[in-house]
Chains A and B, each alone.
Chain A
Amino acid sequence: MSGSLQPDALDEATRSALRRFVLSLADSKRILGIRYSDWILGAPSIEAGIAASSMCQDEWGHARLLYAMLKDLGADPAAVEHERSAEEYASVDALDAPFPDWAAVTAGMLLVDGALTVVLGSFARGRFEPATTRVPKMLAEEAFHRSLGEAWYRRLALSTAAEAQDRLRRATEGVLPPVLAWVGASDGPAHLLVEAGAVAPPAELLAAYREDVRDCVALLGLDVDAARGSDSWDAERGRGPGRPDVDAIERARGDRNRMLLVE
């Protein structure tokens, strides 16, 4: 399959599948930004907090670009960003609750942020023209998130402190099932995107993701090839069941300052 895929050339089913896909990426980045922001203060060092601050700015910038992409697909980005309930959010369910400690932030950087990057990378290499032009800059910024996540993951996994390893193992075991289900989504809309050449097939995405994180999680004695995705799936939103906590959604929508909203 060759040639770029323009938004106005899509049939309605493919357009709808692409809306779900882009919305899930955008919502995931917005919620991930909130989760990182919780650790700007309280990170293990000032430098780690500054890095968290930078990453949450990156994630919100990426989310804004992805929400804007929805306009090409027949959705109103302002309404999507500011008027949806928590139940309508399509963020990967691994981000539904705040990160309880730095080990969870570390797992989030490597395993959740990393999953978004694997999928975005495929989107950038696909045929959907807006993605091929807008996503590469995101990927360049994500390289830092990946490096920081891996460095911290290795440090905690190889720590002589059993509690550091235990916390990281719990966080890893908690996020892998929903993330694997999200990366390897293979329902009808997901297949439409593959047929359109917008992203690689689910098996290919899963293989790339597993390759990406295999060595790190193995440090804890975990086998990402044996790990399986969650069974439950919400096909309408393209994620598992559940929703992010209400506080995060109020922050994402900017509820407390709606009267000051300027668009």
Chain B
Amino acid sequence: MREFVYDVFARRERGEPLAHIGYVDALDDATAKIYAWKTYDEQSWFEMCVVRRSHILPVNRTDGPFAEGGKVDP
């Protein structure tokens, strides 16, 4: 099954900055949302979002995970 990397962002309370808290490998957007919510459940998050890594556009770096984009496993 093809999987994609999704980065997970969350904030504990309204008004806090949205922080990068980790990532999940998922089949699609629907499973990414569930996996993120169930994997990073150590906090009672006010808000959580996921972004497919390949949709993130690095601004100043040409190396590192965001520059490499989301992996696609065969």
Contacts A44-B1, A45-B3, A155-B1: A51 and B30 contacting too (C-beta < 8 A)? no
B3 cross-chain contacts in A, Cβ below 8 A: 45
Tally of B interface residues using CB under 8 Å: 16
Q: Are B24 and A47 in contact (CB under 8 A)?
A: yes
Interface segment, one of A87-95, A115-123, A144-152, A188-196:
A144-152
Q: For residue B38, which residue of chain A has the nearest CB?
A: A54
Cβ < 8 Å to A, chain B residues 7-37: 24-28, 30-31, 33-35, 37
Contacts A45-B25, A155-B27: A50 and B38 contacting too (C-beta < 8 A)? yes
Cα(A54)–Cα(B39), bound, Å: 9
Contacts A47-B39, A51-B35, A54-B41: A151 and B28 contacting too (C-beta < 8 A)? yes
Contacts A151-B30, A151-B31: A144 and B1 contacting too (C-beta < 8 A)? no
Would you give the shortest CB distance from B30 to chain A, in whole angstroms?
4
Q: Are A47 and B25 in contact (CB under 8 A)?
A: yes
Cβ < 8 Å to B, chain A residues 127-146: 144
A219 interfacial contact with B, CB 8 Å: no
Pick from B24, B25, B34, B37: contact of A151, CB under 8 Å: B34
Cα(A48)–Cα(B3), bound, Å: 12
Q: For residue A164, which residue of chain B has the nearest CB?
A: B1
Pick from B26, B28, B30, B41: contact of A47, CB under 8 Å: B26
Q: How large is the interface on A (under 10, 10 to 19, 20 to 34, 35 or more residues)?
A: 10 to 19
Q: For residue B32, which residue of chain A has the nearest CB?
A: A47
Cα(A151)–Cα(B26), bound, Å: 11
Q: Are B28 and A155 in contact (CB under 8 A)?
A: yes
B41 cross-chain contacts in A, Cβ below 8 A: 54
Q: For residue B40, which residue of chain A has the nearest CB?
A: A50
Most chain A CB within 10 A, of B27, B33, B38, B41, is at: B38
What sequence of 0s and 1s flags, for each residue 47-66 of chain A, a beta carbon within 8 Å of any chain B beta carbon?
11011011000000000000
B25 cross-chain contacts in A, Cβ below 8 A: 45-47
A44 cross-chain contacts in B, Cβ below 8 A: 1
Pick from A50, A150, A155, A159: contact of B35, CB under 8 Å: A50
B1 cross-chain contacts in A, Cβ below 8 A: 44, 155, 159
Cα(A14)–Cα(B1), bound, Å: 50
Pick from A46, A50, A151: contact of B27, CB under 8 Å: A151
Cα(A183)–Cα(B67), bound, Å: 51
A152 cross-chain contacts in B, Cβ below 8 A: 27, 31
Would you give the shortest CB distance from A261 to chain B, in whole angstroms?
28
A147 cross-chain contacts in B, Cβ below 8 A: 30, 33-34
B residues near A, CB below 8 A? Answer: 1, 3, 24-28, 30-31, 33-35, 37-39, 41
A residues near B, CB below 8 A? Answer: 44-48, 50-51, 53-54, 144, 147-148, 150-152, 155, 159
11 contacts between A and B (CB under 8 A): A47-B25, A47-B26, A50-B39, A51-B34, A53-B38, A54-B38, A147-B34, A148-B31, A148-B34, A150-B30, A155-B27
8 nearest A-B residue pairs (beta carbon) = A47-B35, A151-B30, A54-B38, A151-B31, A148-B34, A51-B38, A47-B24, A50-B39
